[in-house]
Amino acid sequence: MTSYLFQDIATMTSRSMRHIFRSADTIITMTLTPIALMLMFVYVFGGAMHAGTSASYVKYLLPGILLQSIASGVAYTAYRLFIDVSKGIFERFHSMPISQSAVLWGHILTSLVSNAISIVVIVLIALVMGFRSTADILNWVGVAEIFLVAVLALTWLAVLAGLSAKTVDGATAFSYPLIFLPFVSSAFVPTSSMPAAVRIFAENQPVTAIVNATRALLNNQSAGNNIWIALSWCLGITIVAYLLAMRKYKKRIFGN
């Protein structure tokens, strides 16, 4: 039974991945747009940030760019889920002898894989732009773990949005605040430069904890409490979004 479950999930994941590679606009949104933002911030605004050389600023802003890439990427998960549900594809698959959860997990694993590819591409571009890290293997493992749970958390939010939306625009609109959130954090400028009210919000939202923890690890420094705060935010979002999404999934697909 378990082998059939994994086989069904692999089949659904392969189906979803083919949709991504056949869609040029998806690749542009997930990868090229964050790269364009990174180029703009480093070479247009970098000199005004007093971060030293462009290489030091790309090192500073890379975690925030990666989070924006993830936010853009998971929007496609919500879109594909909405299309599958609205066209009755879920019901069609569920009429076949496959595991009931395989279709949903196919979308989730596709999000994890596609976002991982996007992250690797952006890091490679950052290396060309001068990014260098003194992190050891354990630090890199820590960075990978943080972004893994961040992708998982945002993917479950995307699942909830895709299952709850009434229109295509509604399915993807949830990602707009996620893309904007790094601008009100420590992703691009230190929070100490912000007005008091904005600084309080910036220092107590998940993006700042994730960015600070990742930045410390990439600099081979201790992440302190930031890593635990970041993981707590991600795990908390994952649990809440998972429970709400599964409830919506069962109600919308199975009527219970």
Domain around 10: 2-254
**Residues 55-65: pLDDT tens digits?**
678 888 999 99
- Identify the pLDDT of residue 236: 95
- Identify the pLDDT of residue 184: 92
Q: Where are the beta strands (DSSP E) in the chain?
A: none
Distances 211 to 29, 109, 110, 125 between C-alpha atoms, Å? 21, 24, 24, 19
The total number of structural domains that make up the chain: 1
Share the mean pLDDT of the chain: 84
CA 186 to chain centre: 17
- Identify the pLDDT of residue 1: 45
- Identify the pLDDT of residue 98: 67
Q: Which ranges of the chain have pLDDT less than 50? A: 1-2
* Measured distance CA(230)–CA(242) in Å, rounded: 18
**How many other C-beta atoms are found inside a 10 Å radius of the C-beta of residue 144?**
13
Query: How would you classify residue 120: left for phi > 0, otherwise alpha for psi between -120 and 50, otherwise beta?
Result: alpha
Query: Whose CA is closest to 80, among 143, 173, 171, 142?
Result: 171
Distances 144 to 112, 172, 217, 244 between C-alpha atoms, Å? 12, 26, 10, 26
- Identify the pLDDT of residue 48: 62
**Residues 8-22: pLDDT tens digits?**
777 777 877 777 777
Query: Whose CA is closest to 198, among 216, 184, 181?
Result: 184
Q: What is the pTM of this model?
A: 0.86
